């Protein structure tokens, strides 16, 4: 029986795909939850229309759904934005009166053209409900990007390849006055979670519990549609456990049949 289990495990490991790429240093790449912190009102950005936008100009209007990433990303950034927009739409929320959707690029090299292109792609894919002033796709200078990212505990760094970044996937929900109310995992956020987060922030309350941001953008390989390295290792472990459990079940059934 032990031989059978060993052979099954080896067969499974041999057939699961993996990438030979090295693992980057991901120490500290995550959200350090700072619920109750204030967004920096003086940080200045440029929107998709090439206009200057101060973070403080977004206050006192509606709860803010703030998502970081970069617009040229070929991995999970666009997926995260679409997931949030669709969750809001399914929850019956309208950008503008109900919430403000604010996507901030962490790449200081990106311009208003990149922001506009990302916005147009998102709108074509998600067709979100809202007014023009309900959506903000922003680019900015390094200091302003770092300031707002650090204010909400968003930790990221440049990737090994040029113009790439290793960063967490998730969103910050802030009150209309710019106080961090809570966090959303972005990908996998349900309409109910989105609705509750917006409702809590609209009441100028800090959420009792922060939803985790579990994914790193680096982990997804968009060319194959698979997670890489660390995720593959986790999937391998889970698959091996399942195969061992199945083998044990078959063995027990065989023993039962032999006794009968």
Structural domain harbouring 12: 2-18+229-259
Residue 38 lies in a domain: no
Residue 12 Cα to chain centre, angstroms: 30
Q: What is the pLDDT of residue 222?
A: 45
Residue 33 lies in a domain: no
Domain shared by 169 and 111, yes or no: yes
Same domain, 205 and 243: no
* pLDDT surpasses 80 at 141: yes
pLDDT per residue over 234-248, tens digit each?
Answer: 444 445 555 555 666
**Within-domain flag for 32:** no
Same domain, 96 and 145: yes
Per-residue model confidence (pLDDT) at position 7 = 43
Total-model pTM: 0.73
Split into its structural domains, the chain has a count of: 2
Q: How far apart are CA 2 and CA 36, in angstroms?
A: 55
Instruction: Judge whether 117 lies within some domain.
Output: yes
Residue with the larger pLDDT of the pair 103 and 127? 103
Q: Supply the CATH number for residue 118's domain.
A: 3.40.30.10
Asked if pLDDT for residue 10 goes beyond 50, the answer is: no
Same domain? For 180 and 237 the reply is no
Q: Among 35-44, 154-163, 187-196, 222-231, where is mean pLDDT lowest?
A: 222-231
Q: Residue written as tokens 């669709």?
A: 86
Mean pLDDT over residues 73-77, rounded? 82
Residue 93: predicted pLDDT: 97
**Same domain membership, residue 6 and residue 116:** no
Tokens read off for 223: 């060319």
pLDDT at residue 21, rounded to an integer? 46
Give per-residue burial for 187-210: e unless 16+ CB within 10 Å, then b.
Answer: bebeeebbbbbbebbbeeeebeeb
Determine the average pLDDT of the residues in 187-208: 92
CA dihedral 230, 231, 233, 236 (to 10 degrees): 180
């Amino acid at each position: 029986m032990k031989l059978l289990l060993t052979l099954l495990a080896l067969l499974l490991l041999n057939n699961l795909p993996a990438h030979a790429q090295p693992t980057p240093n991901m120490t500290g790449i995550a959200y350090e939850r700072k619920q109750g912190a204030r967004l920096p009102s003086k940080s200045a950005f440029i929107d998709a229309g090439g206009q200057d936008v101060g973070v403080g100009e977004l206050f006192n209007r509606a709860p803010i759904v703030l998502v970081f990433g970069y617009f040229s990303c070929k991995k999970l950034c666009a997926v995260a934005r679409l997931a949030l927009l669709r969750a809001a739409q399914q929850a019956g929320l309208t950008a503008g009166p109900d919430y403000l959707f604010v996507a901030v690029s962490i790449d200081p090299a990106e311009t208003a053209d990149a922001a506009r292109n990302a916005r147009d792609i998102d709108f074509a894919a998600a067709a979100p409900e809202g007014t023009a002033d309900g959506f903000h796709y922003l680019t900015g200078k390094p200091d302003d990007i770092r300031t707002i990212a650090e204010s909400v505990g968003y930790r990221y760094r440049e990737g090994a390849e040029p113009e790439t970044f290793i960063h967490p996937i998730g969103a910050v929900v802030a009150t209309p006055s710019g106080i961090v109310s809570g966090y959303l995992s972005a990908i996998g956020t349900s309409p109910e979670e989105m609705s509750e987060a917006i409702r809590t922030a609209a009441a100028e309350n800090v959420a009792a519990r922060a939803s985790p941001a579990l994914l790193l953008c680096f982990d997804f390989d968009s060319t194959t549609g698979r997670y890489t390295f660390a995720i593959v290792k986790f999937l391998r472990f889970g698959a091996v456990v399942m195969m061992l459990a199945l083998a044990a079940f078959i063995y027990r059934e065989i023993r039962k049949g032999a006794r009968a």
